[in-house]
Structure 1
């Protein structure tokens, strides 16, 4: 199965540097324009359906992509929603580390739960859209954790994903593999991931 994980378009909270998480902030006009521009770079002939997380910014991004590409919107999945950042949501990202050292936010969804949750969503999508080539609109932190779960790396070492960036994965013989990360080949990104892991091991 071929599947592309796409980060939703910009919201006002993204623009203003606020931690967003599960808070259901809509796209702004820039986010809508980003979706239109991204659709123009995708080949409709290479994809069959568009799905998304259940949060509004992802659903609207999916609808804009689908309309431009002439593809159906084929579902929204709770397990694709962004990590819940608890008490930190709505806080300036620049102030997060000072307020909560180690990013131990009250009521935060545990980091180790995010990747497996995202994989469950992909498995459900694969079951419900067997053989289809799927565009799945989700969220930056969720996508990084999913990719890390597949590759065995630390999600914190994955690069930040821009709005409407595309990360492709595939499933063969019941195993998921990372193909690209934000438009870059996984082979290229893996060098930096492995180097970061080596530094952690040496420091330990």
Structure 2
């Protein structure tokens, strides 16, 4: 089984380096350009299934990179980015200044601390894990998943022995394409191709 993980193209929130997950924003011009590059790189692959989150930025990326007449997008809310609650739309400096208690609590226990009006990383990880394990039980040869940086990094953490601390030691940039292979009961990260080198 080949699982292709694509992080959506850039949004203004990415460009401005703010924390966001449930904020449902569209791609910016650069994000649409990145999606066009992805399209050229994967156009020869015939996917058996295509999954996206329910967020605009992921669906918009999928529509650009795929032939809409050929594929049905399966939207799955388990692929939505982590809900950042009161941190949504704010940058690092603003959180330290205006949400110092919550920021400190999150920094001290980022896995278990539930951001007010949001979710904890553990809650987020468990729903991503649930989706991914369901995919692994399937019989498809080639699957495309268009999702978010946090989702993809969580899948990496799962593959690398469910070591959640790995989350902060790896990157998933806008437009990256990762190929995950699952064969003979072994799952591994085969390659990660950046959209722009």
- Same fold per TM (> 0.5)? yes
Deviation at 1:102, TM superposition (A): 4.7
Provide the TM-score with structure 2 as the length reference: 0.79
Q: Tell me what 1:167 maps to.
A: 178
Say how many residue pairs are matched. 181
Taking a change above 3 Å as real, the CA distance of residues 97 and 172 of structure 1, as seen in their structure-2 partners, is farther
The reply to whether residue 101 of structure 1 matches residue 126 of structure 2 is no
Tell me which residue corresponds to 1:142.
151
Q: Contact 1:26 / 1:57 at 8 angstroms: preserved in 2?
A: yes
Rate the CA distance shift 1:8–1:114 in 2: closer, same or farther, 3 A. same
Which residue pairs with 1:53 in the alignment?
A: 53
Work out the CA distance in 2 between the residues paired with 1:122 and 1:168: 14
Please give the secondary structure, in 2, of the residue aligned with 1:45: coil
Partner of 1:73: 72
Structure 2 counterpart of 1:188 = none
Is the aligned partner of 1:26 residue 2:26?
yes
Show CA shifts across 1:144-167 (max 9, x none).
112102212324333221111012
Residues 115, 148 of structure 1: 8 Å contact kept: no
Deviations along 1:77-100, one digit per CA (max 9) or x if unpaired, are: 111110111110010144445531
Alignment partner of 1:178 out of 189, 193, 196? 189
Inter-CA distance 126–62: structure 2 relative to 1 (3 Å threshold)? farther
State the distance in 1 between where 2:7 and 2:95 align. Answer: 22
RMSD: 2.5
Question: 2:109 corresponds to which residue?
Answer: none
Where relative contact order (Cα < 8 A, 6+ residues apart) is larger, the structure is 2
Structure 1 unaligned residues grouped into runs of 5+ = 185-204
Indicate the residue corresponding to 1:44 in structure 2: 44
Check whether the contact 1:48–1:132 (CA below 8 A) recurs between aligned residues.
yes
In structure 1, how many angstroms separate the alpha carbons of the residues matched to 2:52 and 2:13?
20
Please say if residues 48 and 71 of structure 1, whose CA atoms lie closer than 8 Å, have aligned partners that are also in contact. Answer: no
Distance 1:102 1:159 in 2: 23
2:127 corresponds in structure 1 to 117
Change (3 A) 1:39 1:110: same
1:87 matches 2:86: yes
Query: Would you tell me which structure has more helix in proportion to its own residues?
Result: 1
